[in-house]
Structure 1
Amino acid sequence: MDNKALFNKCITLLTSVHRVTHELTQNAKSESITPVQYKILEYITVSQPVTPSEISDCQHMSMPNTSRELKKLSEKNLIEKISNTDDRRKQSICLSKEGEAMMHEAFATVELRFLDRIQNASKEDLQEIDQALDVLQSKLFY
Structure 2
Amino acid sequence: MDKKTLFNKLVAFTTSVHRVTYELTKDVKSDSISQIQYHILEYLAVSQPVTPSEISDCQNMSMPNTSRELRKLHEKGLIEKIHDTDDRRKQYIRLSIVGETMMKEAFASIETRFLHRIQNASKKDLEEIELALDILQTKLFY
Question: Unaligned 5+ residue runs, structure 1?
Answer: none
Instruction: State the secondary structure of the residue aligned to 2:11.
Output: helix
Give, as a single letter, the amino acid of the residue that structure 1 aligns with 2:107. F
2:108 paired residue number: 108
Matched with 2:63 is 63
Partner of 2:2: 2
Displacement after TM superposition at 1:112 (Å): 0.4
Tell me the amino acid that sits aligned with residue 128 of structure 1: E
- 2:135 maps to which residue? 135
Q: Considering only aligned residues, what root-mean-square deviation do their CA atoms show, in Å?
A: 0.4
After TM superposition, give the deviation of residue 110 of structure 1 in Å: 0.4
Matched residues, number: 142
SS at match of 1:109: helix
Q: 2:54 matched to 1:54?
A: yes
Runs of 4+ in 1 over 2 A off after TM superposition: none
CA distance in 1, matches of 2:31, 2:61: 22
Q: Give the AA of the match of 1:44.
A: L
Give the percent of matched residue pairs that are identical in Structure 1 and Structure 2: 72
| Structure 2 counterparts to residues 113-128 of structure 1, below 5 A | 113-128=113-128
**In structure 2, distance between residues paired with 1:52 and 1:118:** 36
Helix, strand or coil at the partner of 2:7 = helix
**1:87 aligns to 2:87 (yes or no):** yes
Query: When the two structures are superposed, what TM-score results if normalisation uses the length of structure 2?
Result: 0.99
- For the residues of structure 1 that align with 2:19 and 2:122, how far apart are their CA atoms? 24
C-alpha distance after superposition, 1:17-37 (max 9, x if no partner): 000000000000111100000
- How many angstroms apart in 2 are the aligned matches of 1:20 and 1:51? 28
Show the counterpart of 1:74. 74
Shift of 1:86: 1.1
Give 1:9-48 correspondences, 5 Å limit. 9-48=9-48
Structure 2, gaps ≥5 residues long: none
After TM superposition, give the deviation of residue 79 of structure 1 in Å. Answer: 0.4
TM-score normalised over the length of structure 1 = 0.99
Deviation (angstroms), 1:139: 0.2
